[in-house]
Amino acid sequence: MKLTVLIIGCGDIGITLGRELIAEGHRVVGVRRNIAALKNTGIEPLKLDLNELEEAGASALPQADYVIYSVSADRFEESAYQSAYPDGLKNVLSVMEQHDKPPRRVFFVSSTSVYGQQEGEEVNEDSPIGPTSFSGKLMYEAEQTLLNHPLPGTVVRFSGIYGPGRDRLIHQVAEGRLAAVTPVIYSNRIHRDDCTGILAHLIRCQEKGQPIADLYLGSDCEPVTLHNVMAWIAKQLKVESTDTMQSPLRRRASKRCNNQRILETGYEFSYPSYREGYAQILKEGGFLEVQKA
């Protein structure tokens, strides 16, 4: 059955997800302030600033079977995060609940930044959260906004997203930089295509009548130290480290994400570890050819 999926904040993840859903025969509407990026994607563009929704009625957003809220703050400031996450999501929910036929489920793309563990502890959906930054706190506030709302909602906490165009780590390694062995900092990662794969998979699960949880942790199957990830990339690029990256004075979070709950839904990762994911980026991004030259 053809579904209508509304993607709020239709950026890299939204466009990739939209194309996947369109290929399955669904209708996708993408909301952005600047819709130029949606040209030739097959996604129906809707130019809109979420701040303008507060005074708008039900007609401000189209009726949809599913809503994906995947907004990014336009700058790393508390006011920008407040606007993008708790406030923006509240505005969208306020509009969607006015529709004669409300969405079957709203998905909020969140982050593992809501966890505050620093000693390499394993975390899952039931682990205590403890964000120390304003970004993590406001992300958690947005999660609660959805989960406490009458509309059915699911939060997906993605860990460090990488993929095409998200190759900063590769460039750092290519410059001869490598994370220190100690202190041990765990790096949890997920390829962009698995982010979109999980969201599409959860929509399919609900359409099949499979129960959907209100929270999933989206991370690949192998938590690993940042040093080991960079050392592996260096080996592929055949470069030697000439500079050790110093750890920040304020210790960063260090945890190991357990993805068992999403695996139990039947989802199969396209890139189960950083090796498969970065191998794809290195090959398709031309990094290996550059090293040969």
Segment 59-82, tens digit of pLDDT: 899 999 999 999 999 899 999 999
Average pLDDT in the chain:
92
**Cβ-contact 227, 181 below 8 angstroms:** yes
For residue 250, what pLDDT is reported? 44
Segment 90-143, tens digit of pLDDT: 999 999 999 999 999 999 999 999 998 888 899 999 999 988 889 999 999 999
3-state secondary structure of 216: strand
For residue 1, what pLDDT is reported? 76
pTM of the model: 0.93
Segments of the chain scoring below 70 in pLDDT:
246-252, 289-293
Domains and CATH numbers, the chain: 4-165+189-221+255-271 (3.40.50.720)
**Cβ-contact 27, 5 below 8 angstroms:** yes
Which sign, positive or negative, has the C-alpha torsion 221, 224, 230, 234?
negative
3-state secondary structure of 62: coil
